[in-house]
Amino acid sequence: MIDQNAGLIKKALAGDLVAWESLLTAVYPPALRQARALLRDKNLAEDAVQNALLKMHTHLHSLVEIAAFSTWWRRIVTNEVYMILRLKQRDTPGLNEGIFQHIGLAEDELVVLRCELARALQLLPFDQQQVVIDVDLVGVSLLEVAGRNQIPIGTVKSRLFRARERLKHELEEFREERKEQKTMDITLDNTSARNLTSLFYNYLDGTMNGAERAKFELDLVGHPEWEKELRRHKDFLTLLHTLTGKMTLTSAEIMEKIQTVTAKITDYEQVVDDTRFEQGSPQTLTTHTWFQTPDLYRIESHHPVMGEVVVVFRGVEVLTYMKDAKQAVKTKVSEELKEQMGLDFTDSLKLMAADKDSRPLGTEYVSGRPALHLQFNQKVNGKGDMVTHLWMDKDTWMPLVTELYNTDHELAQRKVVRELRLNQGLPDELFNILLPPDIEVQDKTMDKDIVQSLEEITLQEVQKRLGEQPYLSEEGKADGVYQAKYQWLKMTSGEGGLLTQYFVPGNPLPKLTVTQAKFAHANLPPQIPLIPVNFDFAGSKVEGSYLEISRKPIMGIIVWNHTDYYYTVSGDFDQKGLLLAISKLSLTRSH
């Protein structure tokens, strides 16, 4: 892929300052958006971008392929951001006093020494600096760094070794603790000592294979004088990673921590503002939620169309009361579907963390509460990263703020917990809805079918389960506007239906959703007036119903049936936009 700025890059490489200024003008806006999405602070973002642009100018000659320019400068911006995130924070997550005592570091030295590390990092050659930021600040594996830079892993190890030795020298001088090592004299000029030091780092970094590790541990037994030197290098890495806050967490580790802490929660009450920012003005829906162990939920909200809605979950039974529509419906859902709905915040975190890289960025205060700041990155082919920021209460690990950014680094959604109260001893009566005498409950719990979980499947599997070709959007093809995601809606009877979500690549929220099933599945409130619409579908004139929702990401919905199937189309479109989407549905064998 040829970079659209290829001509400017060539001229800038030749020393053309006008071309460099034009290149700077093109790069600055997206670089600033990227930095702001990661840092969430305008001034710090501007600092990061200024530092990054200076490095781009100084090291443009190191760019191997012009086509890689966009990836190259974005990595430089990201590294500058992590320099700020890790080396300017005032608290390092996950540490205990024993670590400080072990490395001989007073806790009040941490901020000062971290600033010195930031200065020392700037002294490193550019290629060494990039590697040490990747490995020792961000927590990327050496193998991934090699692949990312298209260099041998031996080169990565060499650069990392030299960078660490320089940093060790600078930090030891700063602390005035350089002492003569009597066991061995390791300097960069002593080849055998350098090789041994490199071996120590390989062992400590876990980059040896099984045979190499076994041999090293055997040699270690035969050379007891190595123990002290190995411990010295281990202590340095502990100090380095204490200063940088290097820590990566898998989704499983996050969930284990959350479940351990939240086992102490018997009930909670929270008020959440959920704001969507996709196109146009932001729209906010506020929900008030109560939870009581083991499995009781009450959720209240006010929808612009539905009005006031109260939902109570008692196990798998759900009672939904729409006050304005004067309708109450009791249904059943499966445990799996409840997990996918994310009612329990541990389930919502599990969904958020799945298939994403995650790392802590430090501790901040949210509404007076100390909160652990986590960042999740999800790669989008050809687009970069979608970024999610999450702030969790450090005592309970309950989410306080969640922000979702698209690959253009624009904020798509923000959830803010405005109020949070724990272990109040909520009364059981709260989870019983007192209905007016004129409201009759539509009890569907005796129905044979219970809505099951959504299962993600391939297009080939869709055709097998439907027994025929599905109706799909022409814009969801491989070269189309959207990226399609196919899910199967299961019922206990064995019946199922297709739910297809269409995403603009790089955006975390679906733009369009189409369903197709042999059973009615829309559940539109009967008390809310529907607008009849007539349109062409599959070569026939059909009559459907339109409901205006006016709430992103679903602004409206159209339902209709044709032959033996029921269909719905919904998304971030008005009636005209939905009808246009329907006109682009066709029987397509593959996308």
Query: What is the predicted pLDDT for the residue at 288?
Result: 95
pLDDT band at 537 (very low <50, low <70, confident <90, very high): very high
Report the pLDDT averaged over residues 331-345: 76
Residue 443 lies in a domain: no
**For residue 255, what are the domain limits?**
251-431
CA distances in angstroms from 341 to 145, 322, 333, 346, 549, listed in the order given:
37, 19, 10, 11, 20
Residues 168 and 37 in one domain: yes
Query: What is the predicted pLDDT for the residue at 175?
Result: 62
Residue 171 lies in a domain: yes
- Per-residue pLDDT tens digits for 144-155: 888 878 889 899
Query: What is the predicted pLDDT for the residue at 310?
Result: 93
- Per-residue pLDDT tens digits for 270-294: 999 998 886 657 888 899 999 998 8
Query: What is the predicted pLDDT for the residue at 245?
Result: 63
Residues 120 and 234 in one domain: yes
Residues 180 and 316 in one domain: no
Which among 452, 247, 252 has a CA at the least distance from the CA of 354? 252
- Examine the pLDDT at 493 and tell me if it is beyond 70: no
Residues 406 and 495 in one domain: no
Task: Show Cβ contacts of residue 456 under 8 Å, excluding neighbours closer than 6 positions.
Answer: 485, 486, 487, 488
- Please state, in angstroms and rounded to a whole number, the distance separating the CA atoms of residues 148 and 75: 10
Residue 439 lies in a domain: no
Residues 225 and 287 in one domain: no
- Per-residue pLDDT tens digits for 161-190: 999 988 888 887 766 543 444 344 444 445
- Examine the pLDDT at 92 and tell me if it is beyond 50: no
- Examine the pLDDT at 251 and tell me if it is beyond 70: no
Residue 288 lies in a domain: yes
Query: What is the predicted pLDDT for the residue at 182?
Result: 39
- Please state, in angstroms and rounded to a whole number, the distance separating the CA atoms of residues 378 and 353: 9
Given 406, 431, 456, which residue is the final one in a domain? 431
Residues 398 and 453 in one domain: no
Query: What is the predicted pLDDT for the residue at 12?
Result: 85
Residues 316 and 346 in one domain: yes
Task: Give the rounded percent of residues in the chain with a pLDDT score beyond 70.
Answer: 82
Report the pLDDT averaged over residues 436-459: 76
Given 244, 262, 286, which residue is the final one in a domain? 244
Which among 379, 117, 80, 94 has a CA at the least distance from the CA of 239? 117
Residue 346 lies in a domain: yes
- Please state, in angstroms and rounded to a whole number, the distance separating the CA atoms of residues 289 and 299: 5
CA angle 444, 447, 449 (to 5 degrees): 115
Query: What is the predicted pLDDT for the residue at 526?
Result: 57
Name which of 219-228, 346-355, 452-461, 580-589 the model is least confident about.
Answer: 346-355
Residue 436 lies in a domain: no
Residue 192's CB is within 10 A of a number of other CB atoms, namely 9
Residues 413 and 482 in one domain: no
Query: What is the predicted pLDDT for the residue at 354?
Result: 67
Residues 67 and 210 in one domain: yes
Report the pLDDT averaged over residues 479-504: 83
- Examine the pLDDT at 355 and tell me if it is beyond 80: no
Largest distance between two CA atoms of the chain: 91
Residues 427 and 565 in one domain: no
Residues 424 and 466 in one domain: no
Secondary structure (3-state) at 527: coil
Query: What is the predicted pLDDT for the residue at 264?
Result: 85
Query: What is the predicted pLDDT for the residue at 1?
Result: 41
Pairing type for strands 441-443 and 327-332 reads parallel
Torsion of CA 428, 433, 434, 437, to 10 degrees: -150
CA 38 centroid distance within chain: 12
Residue 304 lies in a domain: yes
Task: Give the rounded percent of residues in the chain with a pLDDT score beyond 90.
Answer: 16
Given 229, 244, 259, which residue is the final one in a domain? 244
Residues 166 and 72 in one domain: yes
pLDDT band at 94 (very low <50, low <70, confident <90, very high): very low
Q: Specify the higher pLDDT residue, 98 or 49.
A: 49
Torsion sign over Cα 501, 503, 509, 510: negative
- Per-residue pLDDT tens digits for 191-222: 667 778 888 888 877 777 777 878 888 888 88
- Examine the pLDDT at 255 and tell me if it is beyond 60: yes
CA atoms within 13 A on the CB side of 461: 13
Report the pLDDT averaged over residues 115-128: 85
Query: What is the predicted pLDDT for the residue at 292?
Result: 93
Q: Specify the higher pLDDT residue, 551 or 330.
A: 330
Residue 321's CB is within 10 A of a number of other CB atoms, namely 22
| Residue 422 structure tokens | 């724990």
Query: What is the predicted pLDDT for the residue at 382?
Result: 64
Residue 481 lies in a domain: yes
| Structural domains in the chain (count) | 3
Query: What is the predicted pLDDT for the residue at 552?
Result: 67
